[in-house]
Amino acid sequence: MIFTPFEIQETVDMILRYKLDIRAITLGVSLLDCVTASGGETRRRIRDKLLRTAGSLVKTGRDIEVEYGIPIINKRLAVTPISLIAGAAGEEDYTPYAHVLDEAARDLGVDFVGGFSALVQKGCSQSDERLIQSIPDALAATERVCASVNVASTKSGINMDAVRQMGAAVKAAAEATADRNGLGCAKLVVFCNAPEDNPFMAGAFHGPGEGESCLNVGVSGPGVIKSALDSHGDAGFDELADIIKKTAFKITRMGQLVGMEAAKRLGLPFGILDLSLAPTPAVGDSVARILETMGLEAAGAHGTTAALAMLTDMVKKGGVMASTHVGGFSGAFIPVSEDEGMVAAVRAGSISLDKLEAMTSVCSVGLDMIPLPGDTSAVTIAAIIADEMAIGMVNNKTTAVRLIPVPGKKAGDWAEFGGLLGGAPIMAVNPAGSGGFIARGGRIPAPIHSFRN
């Protein structure tokens, strides 16, 4: 791949001035060959395999950063969902598996490890039940472990029993980390149509359809997109769409270069490149500010969903032209606490939980990093999850929920989570109850368009 001097300078500007980065290189590792009838032996094998397979991951990432001058913010691991690994041993508590993942991640120097996960969109096995029950203690007792549970899909419908359980798990995880503003919930995602190759946390896992191991890359560049739009003033939507698409192409091509090089040095297959506009709390690195550049006074104003739909679609169209293996989420994240423009919109009263839900019908993921009042009930949390799962199921897209009921806080208070997780005002929830709906249990059937055979 040959770059002209102009392209090199353009990339340097993207990095230094507009906060372009490789958000993560994530090494996916299958743990299926670690399964034994002994929990202790299985965990020993897990640790040995991770240390063996990922031993040079962090060094490789740092070497590429120095040689190419491109920041790689996180080096991460994703493993086979632990509910598929731990069941053979018959243990009741899966927290020890979280401990061994955390210890391996610490020894390797990686930032996060995803895969304390279960896939329960149609039903829960005994092992799935045990994993879900272990989530609060596992997240409270570890630093780097992330958990996810897929409770719905377009093909299977919504497992409402699992939705109810996850409402309780989110509430319990917040209470178990009350001294850290419920931080455990920032490492917990509930999915519909979860991708098996996503490099972004907290929802990454190495799906059962994946190979032995591979390297997935997540690229982010909201600041670059905003800068490109800033320089074109009052252009019409056709021109704006073309600008976004061309800029996404440039960002993706850089990510493809880094991903292929990292995979080559590690002697692993290159998996996918996830081009998602993932904001940070830093000024100038905001998806909300991109929407404002299109002419909205603030994120959440009428027209926001239309603007976000165009942004997400053009990012995907530009990305697929630059890489033959675009995957994961690829589009635009709209977290609250991680996006300074979104925080400003919440403070100004221009965006609400209901408007965020509407926006998730067209963006990449869903309700992300939203602090809620600490007294929000497990039933209400489950109902919010159910609504978001319905959007994903009916629209045949990935949706996710990462809610943080912050103990001791009420609507309007501030919650700080630190680092890339940022902080945000507590958002109000609808006071009307949903108890009778959630108590019904069972499964909401798949939509009619799921039958494609």
Residue 16's pLDDT is 47
The overall longest dimension of the chain from CA atoms, in Å, is 65
pLDDT confidence of residue 282: 74
pLDDT at res. 451: 81
Instruction: Specify the pLDDT at position 248.
Output: 86
Q: Are 371 and 153 in contact (CB under 8 A)?
A: no
Please tell me the distance from the alpha carbon of residue 162 to that of residue 86, in angstroms, as a whole number.
19
332 close to 325: Cβ distance less than 8 angstroms: no
CA distance 393 to 172: 26
DSSP 235-248: --HHHHHHHHHHHH
Phi/psi of residue 213, nearest 5 degrees: -165, 155
Identify the residue whose tokens are 């309007």.
412
Number of C-beta neighbours around residue 435 at 10 A? 11
Q: Which domains does the chain carry?
A: 20-192 (3.20.70.20), 217-371+381-443 (3.20.70.20)
Q: Which amino acid is at 392?
A: G
- CA 57, CA 157: separation in Å to the nearest integer? 38
The residue among 324, 343, 335, 339 whose CA lies nearest residue 271 is 324
How many angstroms separate the CA atoms of 290 and 292, rounded? Answer: 5
Residue 21 Cα distances to 15, 18, 67, 245, 272, angstroms: 6, 9, 15, 18, 17
Q: What is the DSSP letter of 449?
A: G
**DSSP class of 26:** E
Tokens 């598996």: give the residue: 97
Length of the chain: 453
pLDDT < 70: residue spans in the chain:
1-20, 283-284
Both tokens of 449, joined, read 């368009």
Residue 21 pLDDT:
72
Residue 408 to residue 329: CA distance in whole angstroms: 33
The structure tokens listed for 270 are 């290159």
Residue 10: predicted pLDDT: 56
pTM for the model: 0.92
Question: Is the preceding peptide bond at 202 cis, omega within 30 degrees of 0?
Answer: yes
Is residue 277 within 8 A of residue 332, CB to CB? The reply is: yes
pLDDT computed for residue 181 by the predictor: 93
Amino acid code (one letter) for 116: F
Read off the pLDDT of residues 266-322 as tens digits, 9 standing for 90 and up: 999 999 888 888 777 776 678 999 999 999 999 999 999 999 999 999 988 888 877
- Residues 223, 215: contact at Cβ < 8 Å? no
| Cα 5 to chain centroid, rounded | 35
Positive or negative, the CA dihedral 119, 124, 130, 134 is positive
Six token digits for residue 127: 């092992």
Q: What pLDDT does residue 256 have?
A: 84
Q: Which two tokens stand for residue 275?
A: 């081009």
